[in-house]
Amino acid sequence: ERRERRKKKRKGKEKKEKRRKEREKEEERKEKEKKEEGKEGEEKKKEKWKEEREKRKKKKRRKKKERKREGEKKQSG
């Protein structure tokens, strides 16, 4: 009788332990995925920022050229 109770107790403990380990693995996997998503998000932000920066530079260049042209027109005109 005692042996059977001990066996049942041990089995219950083993099951709990197994479940706990599985849960921990699942949590670790989820954390890894989150980190990877975060990295991807940061990379996208950087790319977007670079593109916007390039657009601003192009706009500045265009404006400079226009001003230069206007100045030349005034001098010749």
Tokens 């991807």: give the residue.
40
* Cα separation, 11 vs 72, whole angstroms: 92
Per residue of the chain (77 residues), give pLDDT as tens: 899 999 999 999 999 999 999 999 999 999 999 888 888 888 888 999 999 999 999 999 999 999 998 888 888 76
Entry pTM: 0.46
Two structure tokens written together for 44 = 């996208």
pLDDT recorded at residue 1? 87
Q: What total number of domains does the chain contain?
A: 1
Residue 21 sits in which domain range? 1-77
Which pLDDT score, from 0 to 100, does residue 24 have?
98
Residue 14 identity: E
